[in-house]
Structure 1
Amino acid sequence: MTEVRTKKLINAPEDIIPQMIAGMVSAHPDILTVEGPTGRAVVAVDGPRDGKVGIVIGGGSGHEPAFAGYVGRGLADAAAVGNVFASPSPEQIMDAARAVDGGAGVMFLYGNYTGDVLNFDMAAEECEGMGIPTRSVQVIDDVASAPKERQHERRGIAGDFFVFKIAGAAAEHGRDLEGCYAAAQSANANTRSMGVALTACSMPQTLKPNFEIGPDEMEIGMGVHGEPGIRRGKVEAADVVTDELLEPILEDMGLKSGDRVAVLVNGLGATGQLELYIIHRRVAEVLGEHGIDIHHSWVGEYVSSLEMAGASITLLKLDDDLQMLLDTPCRTSALTVAGSLEPKGSRTRRHADTAQTAAKVDRSTLKADGSVTPAIFRDLMLAAGAAIHTKRDWLSELDGVIGDGDHGITMDIGWTAVRARLVTMDADATISEVSEAMAKAFLDAVGASSGPLYASAFRKAGEAVSDRLHLDAKAMVAWLDGLCAGILARGGAQVGDKTMVDAWIPAVTRAKEALQGGADVIGCLEAAVAGAKSGRDYTAEIESRRGRSAKLGARSVGHVDPGAASAHVLLDAICEKLRGISA
């Protein structure tokens, strides 16, 4: 069978995000600029100013015009731009936060996804430490992703459009941080969406469809990353599909005759306006039959999913305040609401970008027994990164079945950054210092959910062996235990949730058992590999309870969790490399 490959007008895949940002800024220099050392904070030229709440939005690329397309006067002051389908990192978010801080606080708005929550939470913690008050709003508009009684678990899809617009308008009107937060939460509580996909999208790094769908099939309830929906069936007529999308929205919102709404009919990337207007025609008919008034409609691509064919419908129920904020003028590259804007006020730079210098460790105080020297430890980590690169596409294919198809790509980006950092470190760096450098390199490179999780893991692992120069079997197990503890502390997952934890916990448990039985370093690592493999295989037997795949319920059974699979790949590579060195 011939492998399906897609075509994209890109240069090197690793350059797509900076080149896209450069293209946006060069196309809209009167609206957009880039600030901060990461190059990922797209900032409104005339947005941030003294005394105004700073509005920072963000998320993964591939959803254009979201998110940077909504940066401009009267809407968002800045967007933190992540890799394709991956959250921006805390440092990228902090570049945006520093750029927009006008002394009145900063509000973060983003879709309710694990990676975004983890990374924006870390940025919020850093902001608070700097004395910048923050509030965060996770958009939860997708009715297909959780029932109403668990609506806090819903993901954010095209409803971002309305929530961002309301928040930006509240800040433009001079409301304080709590006032802006209240307006954004009101919009969030009154926004509902549902989507349908007709084709898959493909990641620029793989050029392979993220999932398989038949030429006569559609996926109802699809997310904007290619996550499966609530059912798959044969493609039906536009009116039938529209009714199926609209019915659960109307039921969930409890709309009645006389209510007012704003409507968004959104294309996912490869569905033209001809089809979108046909959908809107039916939406208007149904709302009219219910006596529901349409205040304003938008039809087009506003939150896309690369080149996926499909569409979503979003309704925002309006009261007088939400309608006024929706109608407030704004000017961005993707959305303009006509009207006069007040002259721009003054802007004071409040925060300098400062680099932190770590204190050097006195090597003479460290325990030097053990066969794993810092040089060998670096070789083990380089081997782990090389194995992730080799398995990248396989890991992404696993993720494409139950997630968004980017796990292998994200892990490879992170480990590529780690490998680059390892080869430039001082030769006398300790294992603890190497672990800390790995944490920062990984987190700065990828964000996503794996960024905070592995950054926390490397940091805790390094702390666990901070008294060691070399690692013996006991210290190696302590390093692995610290790795697992860091993941648990940051992510909160448990065994049985169908995550990487299902591999890491049995890996550490088996390694500790081997240590108690007198095993050497290699024996402990071999036990860890066996534990990780058993945990990886176990994930295929259970339903997912966390992350994007948690929306699938029973549909996730039979599929290995990609995070658990990558944990096994890492441990297996480390063990194999040490065997070769010791032979």
Structure 2
Amino acid sequence: MTADIRTKKLINAPENIISEMIAGMVSAHPDILSVEGPTGRAVVAVDGPRDGKVGIVIGGGSGHEPAFAGYVGRGLADAAAVGNVFASPSPEQIMDAARAVDGGAGVMFLYGNYTGDVLNFDMAAEECEGMGIPTKSVQVIDDVASAPKERQNERRGIAGDFFVFKIAGAAAEHGRDLEACYAAAQAANANTRSMGVALTACSMPQTGKLNFHLGHDEMEIGMGVHGEPGIRRGRLENADAVTDELMQPILDDMGLTEGDKVAVLVNGLGATGQLELYIIHRRVAEILGEKGIDIHHSWVGEYVSSLEMAGASITLLKLDDDLQLLLDTPCRTPGLTVAGSLEPKGTRTRRHEDTAKEVTAVDTSKLNTDGPITPAMFKDMMLAAGAAIHEKRDWLSELDGVIGDGDHGVTMDIGWTAVRGKLVTDDNEKTISQTCEIMAKAFLDAVGASSGPLYASAFRKAGEAVSDRWNLDAGAMVAWVDGLCAGILARGGAQVGDKTMIDAWVPAVAKAKEALADNADAIGCLAAATEGAKSGRDYTAEIESRRGRSAKLGARSIGHVDPGAASAHVMLEAITAAAKKALG
């Protein structure tokens, strides 16, 4: 079983891997990179941002190096927001990058089309607009394996980021305005296609376990760069046969004809050497040559990796005169240099100060004190939920590795560890609503990914639902659980039957309300919610996934419990147990 296979990595404490990686990048390239902002996750080009220029912000999860921070530098991205491994950066991390690059001409966000990235970058874009910073966002959608052409807006971004980022950065370097930079990036996005193959799985640094299992003679065609399963698993074939299988869907989708011109990227996923990659490129060149398609330029190597995964992807960018001009525009970054002279650096005016947001003060004399659940008890219940997630972290990640990218347990643990840190060090007694706001900000700032904005929204809505309370009675406890569910629904948009955490939260609320109608006390309502979450969790094993990364699997997702639904049950079970213990 994959759970028994341990992997080896040259790291120190797993919780420090991102900060240490960023420190290493900056110390290796001090003439190109710097770090700005209080989160420490905005890697900024030393000579990139300047007055009057559109600011280019890219970003995504770590583990794909040199993407994303490796493409920060003059002529390409002005900054990258760096998330945890395989997890989107948080809105505040993105805002650190946006504030650093705002030159008065607007900011453009570019990232792969994944739920977590879309949620977090959208929240950052909303904040930018509130500050008077015009923004545009481009979600890269190059992976032909992840959705059919008629639903190409649902496709995920894989190695095609490389070309779309390059075109956007060059457009901004040429001094084009925000609309023109956006048009150039969209043109690149519309003309970029990729497909990949995995030969081995990768492992999360926090778990040291393979995300999924591939036999020694197996390959996974069409996998994602987070280790998500692909469109089919089969026997490993030779390099030419694999290249043919990757190229055919790309060519069919692009509709290339004789006389067209392309750029080629043969990308390694982390553990495939250039010997193999050049063999793949040899076959790519043969195929294109036979069709009379000209290769303008090729890149062969690791450009968008997946930790230590063995495998490769092929990306084609169909060129017109403008895209070729932008592709050939000089740039200088750690991950990509295009030779040529760059104009002297212009002036840079810092337009924004970093400000900390305080918890809103409350007149506690007007709050309802009925009910057995006190603020101190509520805090202990939340600490218990965090401890339970930590205990179940590896199990939740293993569930996610089967149908997703294997990071759900790790991501939830990072969020709850941040929450526990804030709650333990806060000696001042706060209302339950204030505690929820602290939890929301801690979770959102620490996590990113889809769980960050979803649970931040959940905690805020739950806190609002009991904002008139000092203590919680049964009705208020049910309102709090209902608020959690409402917050997730409002931010994420998933519905029952999509095979997400909502499939646990909706029946949890329903059962809690039934118990309240039967005059159950607060603990009875929590116990009912826990039972509802368990039934919903188990139900997810019977249905196909319709949202998120696992939606690409179709029927292959049946038989597997959704990890988000599983973590919802883990939290409610721990919260209920803690309440029972406190009240005897």
TM range (shorter): over 0.9
Separation in 2, partners of 1:359, 1:257: 64
Residue in 2 aligned with 1:189?
190
Matched, 1:170 2:164: no
Secondary structure class of the residue paired with 1:415 = helix
Secondary structure class of the residue paired with 1:409 = helix
Displacement of 1:423: 1.1
- TM normalised by structure 1 equals 1.00
Deviations 1:524-566 (A, max 9, x none): 0111011000100010000000000001111101100000000
Residue in 1 aligned with 2:293?
292
Displacement of 1:425: 2.0
Matches within 5 A, 1:409-424: 409-424=410-425
Identical-pair percentage: 85
Residue in 1 aligned with 2:435?
434
Deviations 1:123-151 (A, max 9, x none): 00000000000000000000000000000
Displacement of 1:485: 0.4
Residue in 2 aligned with 1:408?
409
Residue in 2 aligned with 1:208?
209
Secondary structure class of the residue paired with 1:370 = coil
Residue in 1 aligned with 2:318?
317
How many residues matched? 583
Separation in 2, partners of 1:492, 1:358: 27
Separation in 2, partners of 1:305, 1:357: 38
Residue in 2 aligned with 1:451?
452
CA RMSD of aligned residues (A): 0.7
Residue in 2 aligned with 1:521?
522
Separation in 2, partners of 1:426, 1:269: 46
Residue in 1 aligned with 2:269?
268
Displacement of 1:241: 0.1
Secondary structure class of the residue paired with 2:4 = coil
Secondary structure class of the residue paired with 2:532 = helix
Deviations 1:474-521 (A, max 9, x none): 000000111100000000000000000000000001000100110000
Amino acid at match of 1:529: T
Secondary structure class of the residue paired with 2:440 = helix
Residue in 1 aligned with 2:279?
278
Separation in 1, partners of 2:216, 2:578: 45
Separation in 1, partners of 2:357, 2:364: 21
Residue in 1 aligned with 2:391?
390
Displacement of 1:357: 2.2
Deviations 1:36-88 (A, max 9, x none): 00000000000000000000000000000000000000000000000000000
Separation in 2, partners of 1:193, 1:359: 48
Separation in 1, partners of 2:553, 2:134: 36
Secondary structure class of the residue paired with 2:394 = helix
Separation in 1, partners of 2:357, 2:449: 23
Maintained 8 Å contact 1:375/1:427: no
Q: Which runs of 5+ in 2 are unaligned?
A: none
Separation in 2, partners of 1:334, 1:93: 21
Displacement of 1:581: 1.4
Separation in 2, partners of 1:431, 1:252: 53
Residue in 1 aligned with 2:361?
360
Matched, 1:75 2:76: yes
Maintained 8 Å contact 2:262/2:319: yes
Separation in 2, partners of 1:357, 1:246: 53
Deviations 1:397-451 (A, max 9, x none): 0000000000000000000000000112243200000000000000000100000
Residue in 1 aligned with 2:486?
485
Maintained 8 Å contact 2:359/2:438: no
Amino acid at match of 1:20: M
Maintained 8 Å contact 1:242/1:283: yes
Displacement of 1:580: 1.2
Displacement of 1:360: 1.4
Deviations 1:258-312 (A, max 9, x none): 0000000000000000000000000000000000000000000000000000000
Maintained 8 Å contact 2:507/2:533: yes
Separation in 2, partners of 1:416, 1:533: 24
Residue in 2 aligned with 1:107?
108
Amino acid at match of 2:414: I
Amino acid at match of 2:83: G
Secondary structure class of the residue paired with 1:540 = helix
Separation in 1, partners of 2:41, 2:361: 31
Secondary structure class of the residue paired with 1:98 = helix
Amino acid at match of 2:568: A
Residue in 1 aligned with 2:8?
7
Residue in 1 aligned with 2:236?
235
Separation in 2, partners of 1:582, 1:461: 22
Separation in 2, partners of 1:227, 1:423: 36
Displacement of 1:355: 1.2
Separation in 2, partners of 1:426, 1:88: 29
Maintained 8 Å contact 2:359/2:437: no
